[in-house]
Structure 1
Amino acid sequence: MAAALGAAGTRYALREIRTAPVAPALERTNFRGRTVTLAAGPALAVGASAAGALGAPSVPAGAAALVAGLGAGAVGLYDDVVGNRPEQKAAKGFAGHLAALREGRVTAGMVKVAGVGAAGLAAAVLLVADPTVAGHRRRQGQGALGRTVDVLLGAGVVAGTANLLNLLDLRPGRALKSGVLLGAPLARGPHGGLAAGAVGAASGLLDEDLGERVMVGDSGANALGALLGVTLAARSGPVGRAAVLAVLAGLTAASEKVSFTQVIQRTPVLRELDAVGRRSD
C-alpha cells in the first residue's frame, strides 16, 4: 500500500509542480544538453515522505520520515536553485565547501550539508524514543551518554545515506535505481512501510528520469536517501548503525578521490545495470 501511495502521490505532485508559476525556474540542461525540469526533486520528496509516514508502524517513526524526507528535500532544493548561480559553482565536493567556509563564504552546498545533518539529527531523536525501533529496551537502561551516542549514530546514518544517493545522481535514473535496489530489501518487517513508500515514489519517476524529461537533483536524491537512512536506523541497534555509518563514511571519502561514474563504466555488471532503460540517442 505504501509503495502504491508513494508512486501515485509523487506523480501527482510532479504534475502540479510542472504547471506551477515556479516551473520555468526549475528548468536545467542535463549532461547531454537536453532541457529537463527539476520538478521531480520536490515531487519525490513530498510523495516519498508522505507515503513513508503513512506506512510507518508508529507516530514517532512517521514523524521521523517526514522530518528527514522533507527537511533533506528542502535544503537540497535550495542547493539546486541557489547553487546553480555562477559564484556558487567554484566549490566542488565537501572539501571545496569547507575551503569556502574557511574563507568566510557560506556556500549553498554547505547550507545543504548542515540542513541534511539537522534533519538527520531530528529524525534520530524521534527514533530513539520510539518503542518500535530496534534496541529500544536496551536504551531504556542507558544513561544520557549512551542515548546521545545512539542519536548521533542514527543521525549519521540518515545524513550519510542521503549524501550517498546524491553522489550517485550524475546520470539519468542512477539515483532512483540505486534507491530502489537499496530500499526493496528493506521494504519488509515492522518498518518496511518507510522504505516501501520511498521505493514506490522512486519507481513512479523512473520512466521520466530515464527518458531525460526530468531530473531529481539534490532535492530528490537527498530526500530518497534520507528516508532509506531512517529505515536503516530504525532496523538497527548501535552496532548495526555504527557498521552502516562506517560503510557510508568510507564511500563518501572514496568519492573525493575516485569517480563513481568511472568505476561504474569499468565494471561490466554495473555498467549494464546503469544503462538499462536509458536513452541511447
Structure 2
Amino acid sequence: MLMAWVLYSLLLYFLGRALMPGWIRFMENHRLTDSNYNGDRIPTAGGLFIVMMLVIHSLVIQGIAYGKPTAGSQGINLALPNVYTLGAVTVAFLGFLDDTVGHKTPKGFTGHWGLWKEHRVVSTGTVKAGGIAVAAMLFVLRGDTDLSAPWGWVALQWLCIVLAANGINLLDTRPGRAFKGFGALYLLATAVMMLNDQGHRQDFLVMSLPVLVSMALLLGADLKGQIMLGDTGANLLGFVLGCWIVQATGWKLQLLLLAGFILLHAITWRHSLSRLIDNHRWLSWLDSLGRESGPEKN
C-alpha cells in the first residue's frame, strides 16, 4: 500500500510539472499578474495551481471509490477528503476574489471596519473571513464527527483552522515565507501524529499529497520571486494546515498552536513582522534561506 502511494505521488508530481508551464502562460496571458519586490510583473494567485492539483487528486480518489466500493472498509474515509477539498477550494476562491477585485488599502480588522463605517462598503477581505469561518465549521462538524463532543472542543478546532488560514497569509510578505511556516507546522503535526498515533493516518496521507506536491513544484519559483501565492494560495495553505492540525494532534498542542496564532495576529496588528524578523539574526537567516537577494519591501 505504501509503495502504491509513493508511485502515485511521483505520478502526481510529474503531471504537475508538465502542467505548470501552461498554467504560468495562462496566468500571464490573462493578466493575472502583479509586481513583485523587484517591480517585475509575475503571476499572482499561485494558489490556483494548488487548487488544480487538489481537484485532480479528488477526481482520482472519487474514481477509486467508485470502482472499488469497499474502499471505505480499508480505512479511506471519503467524507473527510470531500469536505476538506470543498472547503479548501472555497477558501481559495475567496482569496482569489481578494487578489483580483479586492481593495488593497484596508488591512486588518480596523481597516475593513473603517471601510464599512465610512463608505458602507463590505470589503472582499470581510467576505473572505466569513467564508473561511463557515468552511472551518463545516470541516469540524463534518459527517463523521461525534456531535456529542463538548462545544469547547469544537470551538478550539474551529479557531485553530480560522486563525491558521489567516496566520499563513500574514506570513506571506516575503518570497517563500508562507511555505516555510506551513512546512514547519506541517512537520510538527505529522511528528506528533506518528508519535501518539492520533488522528486518521491514511486520511491524513490522502489529504496531504496534492498540497505537498504543489509545494515541491512552487517553492523554488516562489523563493526566486517568479510567482506569488497571493491570498489565493496563502489562505488556502493556512486552511489546509488548520485542518491537518485538528486531525493529527490532541487538544494540548492545538491549544498551544492557537495561542501562537493569536500572538502572531497581535504582533502583526501593531508591528511589521518583516522588521521584527530582520532584527533577529537566526530568524533572518531562516527567512532568507533559499531566497535570491534583491530589494525588498516591508
After TM superposition, the score normalised by the length of structure 2 is 0.77
* Regions of 4+ moved over 6 Å: none
Match of 2:179 in 1: 176
Structure 1 position 99, deviation (Å): 2.3
Q: State the distance in 1 between where 2:18 and 2:37 align.
A: 27
Partner of 1:151: 154
Give 1:51 deviation, angstroms. 4.8
Q: Which consecutive unaligned segments of at least 5 residues does structure 2 have?
A: 1-5, 62-74, 195-200
Distance 1:162 1:49 in 2: 20
1:27 correspondence with 2:33? yes
Alignment equivalent of 2:78, drawn from 47, 59, 63? 59
**Could you say which residue in structure 1 is the equivalent of 2:233?**
220
| Residues 177, 287 of structure 2: 8 Å contact kept | yes
Cα distance in 2, alignment partners of residues 6 and 33 from structure 1:
33
Q: Does the Cα contact within 8 Å between 1:97 and 1:107 map onto a contact in 2?
A: yes
Cα deviation 1:171-217 (Å, max 9, x = unaligned): 11111122222223434641541345433321220111112211111
Measured after TM superposition, the shift of residue 244 of structure 1 is 2.9
Q: Secondary structure at the match of 2:276?
A: helix
Equivalent residues, number: 264
**8 A contact 1:23–1:39 mirrored in 2:** no
More deviation, 98-107/217-226: 98-107
CA-to-partner distance for each residue in 1:5-46, whole Å, 9 max, x for gaps?
A: 664565455434333388433111012211110152211233
1:257 aligned partner, one-letter code: R
Which residue of 277, 287, 291 corresponds with 1:274? Answer: 287
1:95 pairs with 2:110: yes
Q: What do you get for the CA RMSD once the two structures are aligned? A: 2.9
Residues 273, 163 of structure 1: alpha-carbon distance in 2 compared, 3 angstrom cutoff: same
Separation of aligned partners in 1, 2:219 and 2:230 = 13
Q: Distance in 2 between matches of 1:225 and 1:81?
A: 19
The structure-2 alpha-carbon separation of the partners of 1:10 and 1:263, relative to structure 1 and needing over 3 Å to count, comes to: farther
- 2:67 alignment counterpart: none
Q: Distance in 2 between matches of 1:187 and 1:52?
A: 21
2:215 is the counterpart of 1:202: yes
Distance 1:267 1:21, change over 3 A: closer
**Could you say what secondary structure the match of 2:39 adopts?**
coil
Distance 1:157 1:278 in 2: 29
Superimposed CA distance per residue, residues 204-249 of structure 1 (whole angstroms, 9 cap, x where no aligned partner): 2011111221111100111111111101011234554444323212
CA distance in 1, matches of 2:54, 2:101: 24
Aligned equivalent of 1:45: 51
Q: Percent identity?
A: 26
Out of 244-253 and 184-193, give the one that drifted further. 184-193
Q: How far apart are the structure 1 equivalents of 2:56 and 2:128? A: 21
What's the TM-score once normalised by structure 1's chain length?
0.81
Aligned to 2:129: 113
Letter in 2 for 1:115: G
Distance 1:50 1:150, change over 3 A: farther
Contact persistence 2:189–2:249 (CA under 8 A): no
In the other structure, the counterpart of 2:101 is 82
Question: Structure 2: how far apart are the matches of 1:269 and 1:9?
Answer: 37
Q: Which runs of 5+ in 1 are unaligned?
A: 131-135
CA distance in 2, matches of 1:197, 1:71: 16
